[in-house]
Structure 1
């Protein structure tokens, strides 16, 4: 909108949760462009393109808010004896009818209106004395999410990188179950955390990032252990399966023995062909009953998911390029083609069921091995704009917008993640049904759930298509409703929730998450006295309600951080923004500062000044006991000294891997999401060797006092 921002536009934006400014630091306020505000309002169905349109939209919004009896979704925390404010604000004499999830009805006219209601998402109808009527969803949620059952440690791993001598070129759910069984029984671990296992966008080459999936609701069948499907034993074409096994063995050997990268597309090509044969075997009556129950439980969402994949086989993975009628999942054309492709729809439905079954089997294995938490799954922040979820749920996605991050100290240009955001107004209008269904599906097999960029429950940075990330704005969500739904579904499943809250966090967010029982994420290298002199934060000052780790999939492994190999890698790829000598000096000083703290705490022999650490990129030098392996163990002894409820060990740290699984800011320059776990020389280490590696066993011995059982 041309000209200076008007008070009316600012007020209109505020009433729709769109920010006109934000504070990246307590002492700095940034004004967002009017173009971003207008675009965000447009994505929310509000015309703000002219001053006249702004005034009309503002009048409509203020009148609607003034006249409404109830907001579309109301939250009540079970421990609160008082009615929520939205109900106490009803005019005297208003009659309230409540229909619970179970279908029971009751009528209430006096406070407390919510007394005696069970946990759940109920329907409320309010009728005022003047005849006005309003309908709303009432979310009755437990006060807090489930807490971890005691203190424990666990392993962090990208599943595709965890190859065994039985997998087909990338780690699979059979490998996950094997790792969990070993880690629980032998290493006394309490959990195994994996990357998102959501469905990928079909086609080749597909996007290898697990954080930009086609669907978050259903898992990806590429993770299936084909031989573990019960019908595999009864498939008739044994010769065909034998040939596929031979090809899979060659693919596996290329990665484990010849240094090849993981080729997800090649793996899926083999598995898809094998599964076509296996799924031709009729289900027995018990298996058929289980399959039918799965279909009934997931209903329309599963049908849409399978239909998308069937259509993608014919028209390609980008639904926005499909014939007009097929772009609408509810059109007559889609219904007709769905029937014509019934066999392919059934194939993809069966794949979703099989994958869900192996995921639940992995969680059972983990719990039977003594893990109090089990498998920790990862929820990506969004989905691909051309994938299954964005096709099936078009009504709740903000068209023309993408999620990202504003400029910060680490990325002056901001970030565009290419993920369409959910519309907060549409979520509220349907009682957060898409979010509830997503969580319910994931909690079927998750002992805990890590939520990537958990700040997205509060606000997301919306970027208009065609604009740089610097020209976006924050759009706010009803965090109380989002948290209430999360608490409700996590409580029903008895699952822990971990929020990835790294980076810039809006004031009050961490406190709200902690109050509701969502654990945070603390990474060693970022835990410093940021309000003081910046020195490393001593262990007793760390927060208790968190998962504490030394690194993540987006950061250098611990050995690379201690030796400075991460600087050498970025230098080779031309990613440094300062002279290499400056980066090296900072890396040496950073490592030396942490090692000095570790030495002062008696966790590792003390070392000399930073320049005694030896050349960056080489093995550190120092007194006896300060070798790399000892230092990595000392880092984890430090984590054990913190009060953190959960401690995570990056599995590649157990064999000295130097390479990050993902190097942000790269695409073709670096093989993101395609590296197997490897030793310090870069040799791939299969699961069978990994679990017997002396270095890993010595590292996990650090946590002997936390061992389960």
Structure 2
């Protein structure tokens, strides 16, 4: 086969599986993946394109694949629209098709009409297959319905998901300018926190931010679960699962049964707490391992205490409601306790459907119950935090953060192996801040596998995160459209985009947020196709604007009146130093020290200084900043700049409120910088505890500026 034909066929096969070898980069130029990279991405999708013959076979397979199914695995459509559903049966066979409506939408049966669409039958696997086409009505209610097909060669059912045309904003947000606080919860400690900020601190912070400052939301880092035993991965953006909560954040004293412990058991809890309570005033990097070891020991004592009949019934109902997903997660935790990290497991334990795992579930039943119980008490404390924040006066309350993906050796990678791809990881192509590209070491959703599962794993994850949320931030929301896949063995820059069914993913997100009464914010920074932001706005998904990234072509700052309306606008982000540090150019100094610059440091420093000077000039031109301003005055002026935008949500970093200068995270590093371990402190490095936060004159002044 000629080489050009092989290349063309490879790209046809790539298109059939939504692999996109060519993309427009941040530099405005087109970039193209090598054929070798495309072959490796297809391999990660389970497609063998290693030779011209294999490519030909794969093309034939993908063309016949829909004809092998009676029904599509799932149908997702918008409210008020119809859809045509192909039904495949042996040619000439009759088939009856109908809908069973979601019980939450009233239930019942709806007939489905066949429409006159002529499609020639196709010979597939030695059988002549015909296609009948049925039209779904355009007045279906929102919800998860089911289409059923019955006949001599048909016995099938598939979900039909009807999603909102648009996720509407709450009335209070429609006038714009609603502001809130952004915090890394683990870094916000009180004197009773056991070494990291927890869910009791979350409730306290939410109520006080509303009551004292007038804030309407509290955006926090992802609370997804980490490893069940030490060492814990510090990054909240690299969890073992996105569906369940990290029990590290549980406040032991707030578990109801703690109040009824015997004197001896209470002493055990106090002894566990003693070595870590002193960490609350330790200015060094946070020690999650020590904290979790202490909390786990204490929680074991509390778990062993009998629960009242009503409390036990509540726990049982929670476990039943969470279903197989919780049981699998709890079993995975128990297996890690027993056998260590999954990388060292035997093959039979790595298969959740194996006899060995089934036997382990029986043997470890008490440990499965413990890890399930931890999710229940965490859920109770999350519910309390959201209620307290709303009672304090917040319009939204807690805004949760959804990470892009999960750890490659985590619970989701084990339990959801049919919907997560192996052989590749998620990342980002090179951009102005990361010229080498990024590899986040997370397995991506498998587009076809996720569709075959009718998006249920995605739905279940969203429902758990949204249950006690007034809003949700979707980290790298562009991943609902396409993800940068880095094949195993490739560098981060040698990847390719894989497209997803964004109508389905965004629609289901909107449906679940609608049911939860939550606002959705998508972090749409980075390399963005122009139409994506328009699409998200059309669906009622807010975007993100960061002041330092909002620049005109000549490098000057975008005027505040030209910001998008449907966004969360902020001055900074957790991947940059707080504003005081950014103004001082510490992002350049740090990246130079860590060897992350691809240009001479003098050139990068000059660019940063020009960016800062353009911004300061703009602030002075608008009368927001005087001459020779202090650091605090400059930080407040920058926040008044976003206050002048039409953006419906405005976010203030808690680090900016206290004058912190250190970044929480430096992208492109792992052990080189204490990522996600920096406790909240002021500009001098003096710790700021929760008890002192609302007596800070600097923080109050910034809150006053936002409330004007």
TM-score scaled by structure 1? Answer: 0.91
Tell me the equivalent position of 1:414.
437
Counterpart Cα distance in 1 of 2:35 and 2:377: 49
Shift of 1:67: 7.5
Classify the secondary structure of the residue corresponding to 1:672: coil
**Aligned residue pairs, count:** 677
Deviations 1:246-286 (A, max 9, x none): 22222223x2xxx2221001000110011011111111122
Counterpart Cα distance in 2 of 1:380 and 1:422: 13
Counterpart Cα distance in 2 of 1:347 and 1:397: 27
Residue correspondence of structure 1 range 479-628 to structure 2 within 5 A? 479-530=502-553, 533-605=554-626, 607=627, 622=628, 626-628=629-631
Counterpart Cα distance in 2 of 1:376 and 1:2: 55
Classify the secondary structure of the residue corresponding to 1:6: helix
Tell me the equivalent position of 2:690.
687
Counterpart Cα distance in 1 of 2:271 and 2:67: 70
Tell me the equivalent position of 2:180.
154
Counterpart Cα distance in 1 of 2:606 and 2:328: 54
Change over 3 Å in CA distance of 1:46–1:573 after alignment to 2: closer
> 1:224–1:358: 8 Å Cα contact kept in structure 2?
yes
Classify the secondary structure of the residue corresponding to 1:398: coil
Change over 3 Å in CA distance of 1:14–1:591 after alignment to 2: same
| Of 58-67 and 8-17, the range deviating more from structure 2 | 58-67
Residue correspondence of structure 1 range 650-665 to structure 2 within 5 A? 650-665=653-668
Shift of 1:576: 4.2
> 2:26–2:432: 8 Å Cα contact kept in structure 1?
no
Residue correspondence of structure 1 range 82-161 to structure 2 within 5 A? 83-86=82-85, 95-102=96-103, 104-109=108-113, 113-126=136-149, 135-148=157-170, 149-150=172-173, 151=176, 152-161=178-187
In the alignment, structure 1 segments of 5+ residues that lack a partner are 608-621
Tell me the equivalent position of 2:128.
none
Deviations 1:382-404 (A, max 9, x none): 00011111111111111211111
Deviations 1:14-57 (A, max 9, x none): 11111232222696322212222222222333222221121122
Task: Kindly indicate whether residue 269 of structure 2 is the aligned counterpart of residue 266 of structure 1.
Answer: no
Residue correspondence of structure 1 range 169-568 to structure 2 within 5 A? 169-236=195-262, 237-253=265-281, 255=282, 259-318=283-342, 320-530=343-553, 533-568=554-589
Task: Kindly indicate whether residue 667 of structure 2 is the aligned counterpart of residue 639 of structure 1.
Answer: no
Change over 3 Å in CA distance of 1:637–1:72 after alignment to 2: same
> 2:258–2:266: 8 Å Cα contact kept in structure 1?
no
Tell me the equivalent position of 2:44.
43
TM-score scaled by structure 2? Answer: 0.91
Deviations 1:336-373 (A, max 9, x none): 11111111111111001111111111111111111111
> 2:438–2:668: 8 Å Cα contact kept in structure 1?
no
Tell me the equivalent position of 1:31.
32
Task: Kindly indicate whether residue 56 of structure 2 is the aligned counterpart of residue 55 of structure 1.
Answer: yes
Counterpart Cα distance in 2 of 1:298 and 1:636: 42
Counterpart Cα distance in 1 of 2:154 and 2:316: 43
> 1:73–1:481: 8 Å Cα contact kept in structure 2?
no
Tell me the equivalent position of 2:121.
none
Change over 3 Å in CA distance of 1:8–1:340 after alignment to 2: same
Counterpart Cα distance in 1 of 2:404 and 2:693: 31
Change over 3 Å in CA distance of 1:591–1:325 after alignment to 2: same
Counterpart Cα distance in 1 of 2:398 and 2:298: 27
Counterpart Cα distance in 1 of 2:274 and 2:50: 62
Counterpart Cα distance in 1 of 2:80 and 2:192: 50
Deviations 1:91-142 (A, max 9, x none): 99975311223263332216763244221122213579x9677643211011
| Of 165-174 and 48-57, the range deviating more from structure 2 | 48-57
| Of 132-141 and 4-13, the range deviating more from structure 2 | 132-141
> 1:402–1:462: 8 Å Cα contact kept in structure 2?
yes
Tell me the equivalent position of 1:73.
74
Shift of 1:316: 1.0
> 1:146–1:495: 8 Å Cα contact kept in structure 2?
no
> 2:273–2:295: 8 Å Cα contact kept in structure 1?
no
Classify the secondary structure of the residue corresponding to 1:471: coil
Q: CA RMSD, aligned part only?
A: 2.4
Change over 3 Å in CA distance of 1:86–1:596 after alignment to 2: farther
Tell me the equivalent position of 1:617.
none
Counterpart Cα distance in 2 of 1:36 and 1:146: 41
In the alignment, structure 2 segments of 5+ residues that lack a partner are 116-134
